Amino acid sequence: MGTCVALFVLAWGVVRIWSVPAAVGMCVVAMVIPPLAAVVANRRGPDDRWWDDPSGDDQSDEWWDELDGKERPR
């Protein structure tokens, strides 16, 4: 987040004096960093099987297990 703020401040405080397109480019980069960081931080690993977790609703879990061909522990 600090990098984004620094890019905005430097873009319009310093860089715009020499090049407005470069300042706009810096702001675009600063705008793209937070969403990319959120996507990377929330990415699930290849071994993370979150869809297999029980939902807590016994009837629904039993139904899904039946569809998947799993044996439910009794």
| 2 pLDDT higher than 80 | yes
Q: What is the pLDDT of residues 15-73, one digit of tens each?
A: 999 999 999 999 999 999 999 999 999 887 766 766 667 778 888 888 888 887 877 66
Angstrom CA distances, 7 to 10, 16, 36, stand at 5, 12, 16
The verdict on residue 1 lying in a domain is yes
Give me the half-sphere count of Cα atoms (radius 13 Å) on the Cβ side of residue 52: 7
pTM of the complete model? 0.59
How many percent of the chain have pLDDT more than 70?
86
Task: Supply the range of the domain harboring residue 7.
Answer: 1-39
The rounded distance, in Å, linking the Cα atoms of 29 and 22 is: 11
Other CB atoms within 10 Å distance of the CB of residue 50: 7
The total number of structural domains in the chain stands at 1
Measure the CA–CA gap between 63 and 50, rounded to whole angstroms.
18
Q: Give a yes or no: residue 50 inside a domain.
A: no
Residue 52 lies in a domain: no
Is residue 33 in a domain? Answer: yes
